[in-house]
Amino acid sequence: MDGQRLSLLKKIMALEFTCIDFNLYLDTHPEDYRALAEYNAASEALLAAKKEYENLYGPLTNYGSTPSPQAWRWIDEPWPWETTF
């Protein structure tokens, strides 16, 4: 796996963790608007990173989130969870 692809995948993983962490915090602190703004910024960055990855390398999941404009690319290896760091 090339370095750019691995770097982008790591960025997605970090942003997903950040969004989950903010989600858990906001469940108990729903009036913290600073945290909500940070969550929204992380969510937007995550969507952008996923879109960039999928445009360059193909889908991250096999259903529902990404149309396949060319050939069915989901079967191309390696799948995201098969990546070694």
- CA–CA separation, 65 and 31 (whole Å): 30
Q: Quick check: pTM over 0.75?
A: yes
- Domain, as residue range, for 31: 3-82
* pLDDT tens track for 5-24: 999 999 999 999 999 999 99
Measured from the Cβ of residue 22, the count of other Cβ atoms closer than 10 Å reads: 21
* pLDDT tens track for 64-74: 666 666 655 65
Split into its structural domains, the chain has a count of 1
What contacts 62, CB < 8 A, 6 or more positions away? 74
